[in-house]
Structure 1
């Protein structure tokens, strides 16, 4: 007896055609933008903040390389988890996504406050690299 499935049993995992209705469409429909997850939102916020800072401090940040890593390689001795790492010699900033997203204390957990937290981490990391106060990097952006 042949050990393969009979030809009458469809392979449902490959085509995603459920009950003969055709291929699945996007959840948001054809006229709305695609939904973004936490990862995409995080990366876009980082990119926009870095672009803003590069526009304000073009010379100082011209050769700075920004990276995003999931987590820091280790936990500090006193139990503090780094949110970023600045390498002054290589002119490199590494932002750690998981600690920034999951370990930051927000007084209100909504999209605006999450965005502001991510932006503040980028500002503080760049300020550490440049030896400046974060409030001096973009005074008009951070004013209430």
Structure 2
């Protein structure tokens, strides 16, 4: 025999009001948006890495803009697909999300290794912009005592 629906029950199938406590909500509450997609995580990683590098090189990266695009509009000069594009006169660095994520050959497919891949692409793009080696951008970061 079917049980009658309570007046507070949701019209969506699969959602229910458990024990009169109301609908379940996200742990973070309504104040903070959740990161649901890989694109959001990619954008956040690029932004945090760019801020880290701007803190280390404030004069050299003062007016540099970091942008994220899905794909490059054309095939790269080497015949492959570019992961980033540096426009030095305009002080712009464009990172292409899909080639970075999809063409990577990670030995571990987890969040840490994906984040390290994105950070390394940002480092290499900034190194290209500044004319430096990527390892020289943050030498203290790699020095173990």
Question: Same fold by TM-score, threshold 0.5 exceeded?
Answer: yes
> Does the Cα contact within 8 Å between 1:17 and 1:24 map onto a contact in 2?
no
Matches within 5 A, 1:35-74: 36-74=36-74
Counterpart-to-counterpart distance in 2, 1:74 and 1:110: 30
Give yes or no for the alignment of 1:18 onto 2:12. yes
Give structure 1 regions of 4+ aligned residues with deviation exceeding 6 angstroms. Answer: none
Measure, in 2, the Cα distance between the counterparts of 1:126 and 1:72: 18
C-alpha distance in structure 1 between counterparts of 2:143 and 2:116, whole Å: 13
Runs of 5+ in structure 2 lacking a partner?
1-9
Instruction: Check conservation: 2:84, 2:95, Cα contact below 8 A.
Output: yes
Larger fraction in helix = 1
- Residue correspondences, number: 127
Residue deviations 1:75-96 (CA, integer Å, cap 9, x gap): 2365410000001111111000
CA shift for structure 1 position 141: 2.7
Give the Cα–Cα distance (whole angstroms) in 1 for the partners of residues 91 and 64 of structure 2.
5
Deviations 1:6-45 (A, max 9, x none): xxxxxxxxxx73258479654x5467x8353211111111
* Structure 1 residue ranges without an equivalent (≥5): 1-15
